[in-house]
């Protein structure tokens, strides 16, 4: 119980809590599926709805506008994504941007490709967007991009203004992601300039002012400051890459464990071992059976496929091995 906040006005409390978003969604869902949801009673329906929100199961298979509606929904979706596809990280497979998009669309049918592209740009430093990425690299970049989308969009606008030598004070905060493909096209034109980036301290100042407008929905100021202090000049995507690797930011979002623990899941391992044991008993059967079966061919080409019998060994050192792709 929050005993010190009773002075907060009721409407402010309600607005901060995002409860109204969930209440109206709950009612909308109820109306769309009246017959089904009311057979156990309306109260039970609301109890189930809010329990699922509480347990972060509520974003599964929902539309994009819903999964990005609140910070809790975003964190929940990131977590769901991680939990569903952790095994990809374990097997050490590298996937392309489009493959990650397919995975995301299995969880959220209308997940926009722009979001995935932006995450991929963070990992690949924007140049080679067709390259393959390890699961953990992509995951942390995706987390940053998805969770702080609006903030990062504004940072990009500021960055581009600084690059063009404009005063960043005239910046208009973009409200939708539609502007991004355009921004990306612009990037390519100015590639020569982008090599050096902008002055870190100027960018830091602008970002600090930007944070004031974003209330809480930005990465921690001290973290961003720390990153920007490391170099004199900075590029947008290398700045984002550094942010994506910050454990403080990861903890603040609270959806994912630290990188070292990302792939540890003893329960799932046991289950998989059982399944693998069954498969090896019946030699004729195909080892695919997962939701990503359709991607298999591409994966095979993409990475030297490890033999199932060597899987154990790969897992033990997999977490450190696959971080290399971005660090080079």
Using CB under 8 A, list all residues that contact another protein: 1-3, 5-6, 8, 10, 13-14, 17, 19, 22-23, 27, 29-34, 36-38, 41-44, 46-51, 53-54, 57, 60-63, 65-66, 72, 109
Of 61 and 188, the one with the shorter C-beta distance to another protein is 61
Of 46 and 214, the one with the shorter C-beta distance to another protein is 46
Of 10 and 281, the one with the shorter C-beta distance to another protein is 10
Rounded to a whole number of angstroms, the minimum distance from the CB of residue 39 to another protein is 11
Of 50 and 214, the one with the shorter C-beta distance to another protein is 50
Q: How far is CA 141 from CA 20, 70, 97, 104, 239, in A?
A: 30, 19, 12, 14, 11
Rounded to a whole number of angstroms, the minimum distance from the CB of residue 97 to another protein is 24
Q: How far is CA 203 from CA 159, 160, 161, 162, in A?
A: 7, 11, 10, 8
Of 181 and 254, the one with the shorter C-beta distance to another protein is 254
Rounded to a whole number of angstroms, the minimum distance from the CB of residue 276 to another protein is 27
Of 109 and 257, the one with the shorter C-beta distance to another protein is 109
Rounded to a whole number of angstroms, the minimum distance from the CB of residue 318 to another protein is 31
Rounded to a whole number of angstroms, the minimum distance from the CB of residue 73 to another protein is 11
Of 29 and 325, the one with the shorter C-beta distance to another protein is 29
Rounded to a whole number of angstroms, the minimum distance from the CB of residue 127 to another protein is 36
Of 105 and 238, the one with the shorter C-beta distance to another protein is 105
Dihedrals φ, ψ of 111, to 5°?
-70, 125
Q: Return d(Cα 59, Cα 75) in angstroms, integer.
A: 10
Rounded to a whole number of angstroms, the minimum distance from the CB of residue 102 to another protein is 16
Rounded to a whole number of angstroms, the minimum distance from the CB of residue 81 to another protein is 16
Of 3 and 216, the one with the shorter C-beta distance to another protein is 3
Q: How far is CA 172 from CA 155, 187, 263, in A?
A: 11, 18, 40
Residue 184's nearest CA partner among 217, 142, 156, 210 is 156
Are 20 and 53 in contact, with CB atoms under 8 Å apart?
Answer: no
Are 119 and 138 in contact, with CB atoms under 8 Å apart?
Answer: yes
Rounded to a whole number of angstroms, the minimum distance from the CB of residue 112 to another protein is 14
């Amino acid at each position: 119980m929050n005993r010190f906040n009773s002075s907060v006005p009721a409407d402010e409390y309600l607005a901060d809590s995002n409860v109204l978003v969930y209440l109206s969604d709950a009612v909308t869902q109820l109306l769309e599926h009246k017959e089904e949801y009311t057979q156990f009673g309306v109260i039970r329906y609301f109890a189930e709805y809010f329990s699922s929100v509480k347990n972060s199961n509520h974003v599964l298979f929902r539309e994009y506008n819903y999964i990005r509606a609140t910070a809790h929904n975003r964190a929940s979706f990131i977590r769901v994504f991680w939990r569903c596809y952790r095994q990809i990280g374990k097997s050490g497979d590298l996937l392309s941007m489009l493959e990650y998009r397919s995975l995301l669309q299995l969880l959220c049918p209308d997940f926009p490709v722009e979001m995935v592209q932006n995450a991929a740009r963070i990992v690949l430093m924007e140049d080679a967007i067709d390259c393959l990425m390890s699961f953990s690299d992509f995951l942390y970049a995706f987390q940053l991009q998805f969770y702080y989308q609006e903030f990062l969009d504004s940072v990009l606008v500021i960055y581009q203004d600084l690059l063009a030598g404009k005063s960043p004070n005239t910046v208009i905060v973009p409200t939708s992601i539609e502007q991004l493909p355009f921004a990306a096209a612009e990037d390519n034109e100015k590639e020569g300039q982008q090599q050096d980036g902008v002055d870190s301290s100027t960018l830091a100042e602008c970002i600090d002012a930007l944070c004031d407008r974003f209330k809480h929905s930005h990465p921690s100021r001290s973290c961003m400051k720390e990153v920007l202090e490391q170099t004199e000049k900075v590029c947008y995507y290398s700045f984002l890459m550094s942010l994506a690797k910050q454990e403080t930011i990861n903890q603040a979002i609270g959806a994912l464990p630290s990188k070292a623990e990302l792939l540890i899941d003893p329960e799932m391992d046991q289950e998989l071992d059982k399944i693998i044991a069954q498969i090896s008993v019946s030699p004729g059967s195909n080892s695919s059976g997962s939701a990503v079966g359709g991607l298999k061919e591409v994966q095979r080409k993409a990475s030297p496929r490890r033999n199932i019998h060597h899987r154990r060994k790969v897992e033990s050192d997999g977490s450190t091995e696959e971080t290399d792709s971005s660090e080079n």
